[in-house]
Amino acid sequence: MDSLLFLPEPLPQTTLFSPKLPRLHPASNSGSRNLPFLILTQRVLQDGSISKTRIVRNSHNSGGLIDSKTAISDVPLLTGLEVFEKLKAYREKIEGKQQYLAMYSSIFGGITTDAAAMVIPMDDHMVHRGHGVFDTAAIIDGHLYELDQHVDRFLRSAIMSKINPPFDRESIRRILIQTLSPSGCPQSGLYAIVIQSLSPYSSKGVKVITSSVPIKPPQFATTKSVNYLPNVLSKMESEEAGAFAGIWLDEDGFVAEGPNMNVAFVTKEKELIMPHFDKILTGCTAKRILTLAESLVKEGKIRGVRMKNVTVEEGKNADEMMLLGSGVLVYPVLQWDDQVIGDGKEGPIVQALLNLVVEDMKSGPPTVRLPVPY
């Protein structure tokens, strides 16, 4: 089964949607349906930090587990009810920065507000083949921000991934809105999840590094798929180096993007520049920034706005550098590798752009704000 996943971004509240892929039958890849497999997973918090490691084992033979710090013996055979009770107990113990408020699944054809029931079938290709796409949209003051723009990108990603959504565009849009209402805040399938962030937004400047993890080829980088292993490794690499994120360069050495955000600069000539979208993901927030920034041109705060090939030298010598995305909005970058950006302080243009985005989220035109019928 193929998967489509839609997640709202965790500002005050978030929505995640993702179509699912056709069910994979082990018999199609081997002579036996009793194909054992192990899945090693890590819970990644929204800020990219790693939480806990889990080993999921499914096997019809008595093969040994891989070496682990925890010895396991006499593994019990649980009933469905016992599994659900354990899921509820596990959820109650989690102390994270997010609350899972509601989820729609086309598998059970409805919405649940029980976090323990927000599960995805093991034979979904999204789970064990990475064949799925997702997108996120932010919710603020009871309004979905740029929902249509995110849905359009979501469906483009599905087409590029050869996933046929189970519903048409308007049905998906309606499901997303309906999934928000109870939150208080082969075959394919659709999952929609509403997440509330418990972390206050911070506009404090951060450090980034040049990522050594290979960037995805344009065919995959321009698709918002669930295959985020390179992104996760890049994020972990940066955290291990005491930085917030890694910056990817394309095959020609030009600045590309971060692991889950776009990047932009303010040059010494007071021009806002941003890498082209032809080899990277087209960021909805980044595109909106390009439009909103025109008001700063009219006010004389910047001289112009354009997209171009940005060299590393240009980026590191810029007056201001920023990360752009639904989760971070506009994040100032104060240091890239060993190079201090500008005067090493949060710049006025980054702050002005952040103010414009926040104001747009609160009182922008109907094309970017959709009221949620709570």
From residue 329, how far is each of 12, 85, 257 by CA, in Å?
A: 12, 38, 15
Domain edges within the chain: 2-197, 206-363
Classified as helix, coil or strand, 138 is strand
Q: How sure is the predictor about 140, in pLDDT bands with cuts at 50, 70 and 90?
A: confident
CB 28 within 8 A of CB 157: no
Per-residue confidence (pLDDT) for residue 83, from 0 to 100: 94
Residue 224 is among the residues annotated as catalytic for this protein: yes
Q: How sure is the predictor about 52, in pLDDT bands with cuts at 50, 70 and 90?
A: very low
Per-residue confidence (pLDDT) for residue 196, from 0 to 100: 73
Cα 147 to chain centroid, rounded: 15
Q: How sure is the predictor about 128, in pLDDT bands with cuts at 50, 70 and 90?
A: confident
- pLDDT, tens only, 191-245: 777 777 767 677 899 999 999 999 999 999 999 998 889 999 999 999 999 999 9
Fold of 206-363: D-amino Acid Aminotransferase; Chain A, domain 2 (3.20.10)
Per-residue confidence (pLDDT) for residue 94, from 0 to 100: 84
> Alpha helices, DSSP H only, in the chain?
80-93, 125-128, 147-160, 169-180, 218-221, 229-240, 284-292, 294-298, 312-316, 348-363
Residue 60 pLDDT greater than 70, yes or no: no
Q: How sure is the predictor about 66, in pLDDT bands with cuts at 50, 70 and 90?
A: very low
CB 286 within 8 A of CB 274: yes
3-state secondary structure 170-186: HHHHHHHHHHHHHHCCC
Phi, psi of 56, deg, nearest 5: -110, 125
Across the range 171-181, mean pLDDT stands at 89
Radius of gyration of the chain (CA): 22
Per-residue confidence (pLDDT) for residue 72, from 0 to 100: 65
CA distance 326 to 145: 9
CA distance 186 to 1: 7
Catalytic residue, chosen from 20, 216, 224, 316, is 224
Q: Which of 3.30.470.10, 2.60.40.1250, 3.30.70.100, 3.20.10.10 is the CATH number of 2-197?
A: 3.30.470.10
DSSP track, 211-273: --SPPPPHHHHTS-BS--HHHHHHHHHHHHTT-SEEE-B-TTS-B---SSSEEEEE-TTSEEE
CA distance 311 to 323: 16
Counting residues of the chain whose pLDDT is more than 70, the rounded percentage is: 78
